[in-house]
Amino acid sequence: MKLLRCLIAVAALLPGAAHAQTTIATGKGEMTAALPGATLKVFTYKAAGCAPTQLLLVFHGFDRDAGPYRDHARTLANRLCAVVVAPEFDAARFPTAQFQHGGSTVALVAPLVEWARAAAGQSGMPYVLIGHSAGAQFLSRVAAYAAPQAAHIVIANPSTWVLPAADVAKPYGFGGVANGEQALRAYLALPVIVLLGQADTGSQNLSTTKEAMAQGATRLARGRYTFEMAKAVAQKHGWPFGWTLVEIPGVGHNSTKMFSSPLTSAALGK
């Protein structure tokens, strides 16, 4: 019996065993998600006095500051009655090619959703993906190349987009993508919210590659360009178009103001 108790104690310390037994607590928290292929630090938030109805997976910007991004999303989470899960993609393991430009990192989103559902105690819980800046670049690739089953995919103020174009190479388009036309059609049908700050016209951390500059001179211009192209391609082919364009007046490259705007929560149904 003593040996059995020792074995149980050791098993509780093994990777995966601990995280499977933890749940997201009320208030702010920090957890570890052991996913297939990677272990991520995750910052969480759960409002008091509210029975959560959905998950809000928040993807941080260039500074890899998942904790502050969790905090930036609290106002939105309170309005939506959502549980916030903000994973940290550190630069050492997830450089630009793997984070902003997607790479194999897009494959982590589906298991992260399942981990978050288990930690929230609700299998099958609806979820929203929301990213700002570098995190929005990542979500553009997730939407294009992984077609997640999210209630909404909020892409806010990214520096670059995946254009709905077969003649533009991945990760800026669908050139070289297996079953490219099918993937493009799925991309355009997704519930993508193109969330732009009308004052986001600065150049700090703005990508200036030739592929980026072909999308426009500023983040605002690039978002408008991509949305209009997406709408035109869907109309040309007679395909379903699920995207929505939302512009926040007077807001620049500021995740807190973008997330907390009433226009953002209205686009999400609140």
Give the model confidence (pLDDT) of 208-263 as tens digits: 999 999 999 999 999 999 999 999 999 999 999 999 999 999 999 999 999 999 99
pTM confidence score: 0.91
The answer to whether the bond into 171 is cis (omega within 30° of 0) is: yes
Which of 145, 127, 141 is CA-nearest to residue 58? 127
113 within 8 A of 57, measured Cβ to Cβ: yes
Which segment of 11-20, 72-81, 165-174 scores lowest on mean pLDDT? Answer: 11-20
Which of 135, 136, 119, 114 is CA-nearest to residue 52? 119
Going along the chain from its start, the domains and CATH numbers come out as 24-267 (3.40.50.1820)
pLDDT digits 0-9 by tens, 50-101 = 899 999 999 999 999 999 999 999 999 999 999 999 999 999 999 999 999 9
Exposed, middle or buried, 257 (CB in 10 Å: 0-12/13-18/19+)? middle
Paired sense of beta strands 27-35 and 38-46, if any: antiparallel
Residues 6+ apart with CB under 8 A from 2: none
